[in-house]
Amino acid sequence: MLKNVLLAGFALLLLTQCQPKDKEVLIQTSMGDMRIQLFNSTPKHRDNFIKLAKEGYYDGLLFHRIIKGFMIQGGDPDSKDAPAHQMLGQGGPGYQVDAEIGELHYKGTLSAARMPDGVNPEKKSSGSQFFVVQGFPVKDQDLAQASQRSGLQYTAEQKQRYIQEGGYPFLDGDYTVFGQVVEGLEVIDKLSNVETGQADRPKEDIQMKITVL
Protein backbone atom coordinates (compact mmCIF):
# COMPACT_ATOMS: atom_id res chain seq x y z
CA MET A 1 0.00 0.00 0.00
CA LEU A 2 2.76 2.41 0.98
CA LYS A 3 4.63 1.51 -2.20
CA ASN A 4 1.59 2.38 -4.31
CA VAL A 5 1.18 5.72 -2.53
CA LEU A 6 4.85 6.57 -3.09
CA LEU A 7 4.62 5.62 -6.77
CA ALA A 8 1.49 7.75 -7.19
CA GLY A 9 3.19 10.67 -5.50
CA PHE A 10 6.27 10.28 -7.69
CA ALA A 11 4.12 10.17 -10.83
CA LEU A 12 2.29 13.32 -9.76
CA LEU A 13 5.62 15.07 -9.16
CA LEU A 14 6.86 14.11 -12.61
CA LEU A 15 3.61 15.30 -14.20
CA THR A 16 3.88 18.64 -12.40
CA GLN A 17 7.49 19.10 -13.48
CA CYS A 18 6.61 18.29 -17.08
CA GLN A 19 3.90 20.96 -17.26
CA PRO A 20 5.13 23.77 -19.56
CA LYS A 21 5.85 26.99 -17.74
CA ASP A 22 4.18 30.17 -18.91
CA LYS A 23 6.48 32.17 -21.16
CA GLU A 24 7.21 35.81 -20.34
CA VAL A 25 8.07 38.85 -22.44
CA LEU A 26 9.30 42.32 -21.56
CA ILE A 27 7.77 45.34 -23.29
CA GLN A 28 10.14 48.29 -22.91
CA THR A 29 9.02 51.89 -23.43
CA SER A 30 10.38 55.33 -22.64
CA MET A 31 7.89 55.51 -19.76
CA GLY A 32 8.81 52.21 -18.15
CA ASP A 33 8.73 48.49 -18.73
CA MET A 34 5.98 45.87 -18.49
CA ARG A 35 6.75 42.21 -17.82
CA ILE A 36 4.00 40.05 -19.27
CA GLN A 37 3.16 36.41 -18.69
CA LEU A 38 1.81 34.69 -21.82
CA PHE A 39 -0.91 32.10 -21.23
CA ASN A 40 -0.49 28.44 -22.15
CA SER A 41 -4.27 28.37 -22.57
CA THR A 42 -3.85 30.37 -25.81
CA PRO A 43 -0.99 28.51 -27.54
CA LYS A 44 -1.52 29.92 -31.04
CA HIS A 45 -1.33 33.51 -29.82
CA ARG A 46 1.49 32.75 -27.38
CA ASP A 47 3.66 31.08 -30.01
CA ASN A 48 2.95 33.73 -32.65
CA PHE A 49 3.81 36.58 -30.26
CA ILE A 50 7.03 34.88 -29.21
CA LYS A 51 8.01 34.23 -32.84
CA LEU A 52 7.50 37.86 -33.84
CA ALA A 53 9.29 39.16 -30.74
CA LYS A 54 12.31 36.92 -31.36
CA GLU A 55 12.46 38.18 -34.95
CA GLY A 56 12.58 41.77 -33.68
CA TYR A 57 9.30 42.50 -35.46
CA TYR A 58 8.01 44.81 -32.72
CA ASP A 59 11.20 46.75 -32.05
CA GLY A 60 10.74 50.40 -32.95
CA LEU A 61 6.98 50.15 -33.49
CA LEU A 62 4.65 52.62 -31.78
CA PHE A 63 1.81 52.48 -29.34
CA HIS A 64 -0.26 54.14 -32.02
CA ARG A 65 -3.66 54.26 -30.27
CA ILE A 66 -4.27 55.14 -26.63
CA ILE A 67 -7.64 55.70 -25.00
CA LYS A 68 -7.60 56.54 -21.29
CA GLY A 69 -9.88 54.28 -19.28
CA PHE A 70 -9.79 51.70 -22.05
CA MET A 71 -6.47 50.45 -23.48
CA ILE A 72 -3.12 51.09 -25.14
CA GLN A 73 -2.64 49.55 -28.60
CA GLY A 74 0.40 48.79 -30.73
CA GLY A 75 1.94 46.27 -33.10
CA ASP A 76 1.18 47.90 -36.46
CA PRO A 77 4.33 47.50 -38.63
CA ASP A 78 3.32 50.62 -40.56
CA SER A 79 3.93 52.67 -37.40
CA LYS A 80 7.71 52.33 -37.60
CA ASP A 81 9.10 55.75 -38.55
CA ALA A 82 5.55 56.86 -39.45
CA PRO A 83 5.13 60.61 -39.99
CA ALA A 84 2.85 62.46 -37.59
CA HIS A 85 -0.04 62.75 -40.07
CA GLN A 86 -0.12 59.06 -41.07
CA MET A 87 -3.21 57.09 -40.11
CA LEU A 88 -2.29 53.82 -38.44
CA GLY A 89 -3.95 50.61 -37.34
CA GLN A 90 -4.34 48.63 -40.57
CA GLY A 91 -0.95 46.95 -40.83
CA GLY A 92 0.07 43.41 -40.00
CA PRO A 93 2.24 40.47 -41.05
CA GLY A 94 -0.21 39.29 -43.72
CA TYR A 95 -2.09 36.67 -41.73
CA GLN A 96 -4.57 36.31 -38.88
CA VAL A 97 -4.56 34.05 -35.82
CA ASP A 98 -7.53 31.81 -35.04
CA ALA A 99 -9.57 33.01 -32.06
CA GLU A 100 -8.80 31.49 -28.65
CA ILE A 101 -11.42 33.39 -26.68
CA GLY A 102 -11.93 32.56 -23.02
CA GLU A 103 -9.79 34.66 -20.69
CA LEU A 104 -11.27 37.89 -19.31
CA HIS A 105 -10.20 41.52 -19.71
CA TYR A 106 -8.91 42.44 -16.25
CA LYS A 107 -6.60 45.43 -15.91
CA GLY A 108 -3.21 44.62 -17.39
CA THR A 109 -4.34 41.86 -19.70
CA LEU A 110 -2.75 41.49 -23.12
CA SER A 111 -5.35 41.04 -25.83
CA ALA A 112 -5.23 40.65 -29.59
CA ALA A 113 -6.70 43.39 -31.74
CA ARG A 114 -8.89 42.34 -34.67
CA MET A 115 -11.14 43.50 -37.48
CA PRO A 116 -14.87 44.04 -36.70
CA ASP A 117 -17.43 41.22 -36.79
CA GLY A 118 -18.93 42.49 -40.04
CA VAL A 119 -15.80 41.48 -41.95
CA ASN A 120 -14.48 38.98 -39.41
CA PRO A 121 -17.35 36.83 -38.07
CA GLU A 122 -14.94 34.21 -36.71
CA LYS A 123 -13.31 36.88 -34.52
CA LYS A 124 -9.85 36.02 -35.81
CA SER A 125 -7.05 38.11 -34.33
CA SER A 126 -4.63 40.44 -36.05
CA GLY A 127 -1.34 38.71 -36.73
CA SER A 128 0.61 41.32 -34.78
CA GLN A 129 -1.53 44.09 -33.31
CA PHE A 130 -2.36 43.89 -29.62
CA PHE A 131 -3.63 46.01 -26.78
CA VAL A 132 -3.03 46.15 -23.04
CA VAL A 133 -6.15 46.86 -20.97
CA GLN A 134 -6.24 49.80 -18.57
CA GLY A 135 -9.98 49.75 -18.08
CA PHE A 136 -11.95 51.43 -15.30
CA PRO A 137 -13.12 50.68 -11.74
CA VAL A 138 -15.67 47.91 -12.32
CA LYS A 139 -18.89 47.69 -10.30
CA ASP A 140 -21.54 45.00 -9.97
CA GLN A 141 -23.86 46.77 -12.40
CA ASP A 142 -21.11 46.86 -15.04
CA LEU A 143 -20.70 43.11 -14.77
CA ALA A 144 -24.45 42.62 -14.97
CA GLN A 145 -24.59 44.68 -18.17
CA ALA A 146 -21.58 42.90 -19.66
CA SER A 147 -23.11 39.53 -18.81
CA GLN A 148 -26.42 40.48 -20.41
CA ARG A 149 -24.65 41.60 -23.57
CA SER A 150 -22.32 38.62 -23.94
CA GLY A 151 -24.27 35.84 -22.25
CA LEU A 152 -21.29 35.06 -20.02
CA GLN A 153 -21.93 34.13 -16.40
CA TYR A 154 -19.19 35.40 -14.11
CA THR A 155 -18.12 33.32 -11.13
CA ALA A 156 -17.86 34.87 -7.67
CA GLU A 157 -14.06 34.84 -8.00
CA GLN A 158 -14.16 36.57 -11.38
CA LYS A 159 -16.52 39.24 -10.08
CA GLN A 160 -14.32 39.84 -7.06
CA ARG A 161 -11.22 40.19 -9.20
CA TYR A 162 -12.90 42.64 -11.57
CA ILE A 163 -14.11 44.76 -8.65
CA GLN A 164 -10.71 44.68 -6.94
CA GLU A 165 -8.51 45.25 -10.00
CA GLY A 166 -10.73 46.89 -12.62
CA GLY A 167 -10.68 46.16 -16.31
CA TYR A 168 -13.02 46.23 -19.30
CA PRO A 169 -15.62 43.43 -19.10
CA PHE A 170 -17.53 44.70 -22.14
CA LEU A 171 -14.84 43.09 -24.33
CA ASP A 172 -15.28 39.64 -22.79
CA GLY A 173 -16.26 36.95 -25.26
CA ASP A 174 -15.23 39.03 -28.26
CA TYR A 175 -11.41 39.23 -28.16
CA THR A 176 -8.64 36.77 -27.36
CA VAL A 177 -6.79 37.58 -24.14
CA PHE A 178 -3.43 35.83 -24.17
CA GLY A 179 -1.33 37.39 -21.41
CA GLN A 180 -1.19 39.41 -18.21
CA VAL A 181 1.11 42.16 -16.94
CA VAL A 182 2.82 40.80 -13.82
CA GLU A 183 5.17 43.75 -13.28
CA GLY A 184 4.71 47.35 -14.43
CA LEU A 185 0.97 47.97 -14.11
CA GLU A 186 1.79 51.59 -13.30
CA VAL A 187 3.29 51.97 -16.79
CA ILE A 188 -0.15 51.40 -18.31
CA ASP A 189 -1.48 54.37 -16.34
CA LYS A 190 1.47 56.55 -17.38
CA LEU A 191 0.98 55.73 -21.04
CA SER A 192 -2.77 56.25 -20.77
CA ASN A 193 -2.24 59.82 -19.59
CA VAL A 194 -0.30 61.02 -22.65
CA GLU A 195 -1.84 63.65 -24.89
CA THR A 196 -3.39 62.22 -28.03
CA GLY A 197 -4.60 63.66 -31.30
CA GLN A 198 -6.39 62.39 -34.38
CA ALA A 199 -7.44 58.71 -34.22
CA ASP A 200 -6.23 58.60 -30.60
CA ARG A 201 -2.58 58.61 -31.70
CA PRO A 202 -0.18 60.04 -29.08
CA LYS A 203 1.16 63.42 -30.13
CA GLU A 204 4.65 62.30 -29.13
CA ASP A 205 5.73 58.91 -30.43
CA ILE A 206 6.03 56.10 -27.89
CA GLN A 207 8.20 53.31 -29.26
CA MET A 208 8.37 49.75 -27.95
CA LYS A 209 10.93 46.98 -27.78
CA ILE A 210 9.78 43.45 -26.93
CA THR A 211 12.12 40.80 -25.60
CA VAL A 212 11.36 37.16 -24.77
CA LEU A 213 12.56 36.34 -21.26
pLDDT in tens, 123-175: 999 999 999 999 999 999 999 999 999 999 999 999 999 999 999 999 999 99
Q: What is the pLDDT of residue 4?
A: 53
Give the mean pLDDT of the chain.
Answer: 93
User: How would DSSP label each residue in 23-75?
Assistant: PEEEEEETTEEEEEEEPTTSHHHHHHHHHHHHTTTTTT-BEEEEETTTEEEE-
pLDDT of residue 21: 74
0.85 cut: is pTM over it? yes
Confidence of residue 103 (pLDDT cuts 50, 70, 90): very high
Query: For residue 13, is pLDDT > 70?
Result: no
Query: Hey, what CATH topology would domain 21-212 get?
Result: Cyclophilin (2.40.100)
Measure the CA–CA gap between 167 and 138, rounded to whole angstroms.
Answer: 7
The pLDDT of residue 19: 53
Residue 100's nearest CA partner among 152, 178, 26 is: 178
- Whether 58 shows a pLDDT value over 90: the answer reads yes
Give the tens place of pLDDT for each residue, 40-53: 999 999 999 999 99
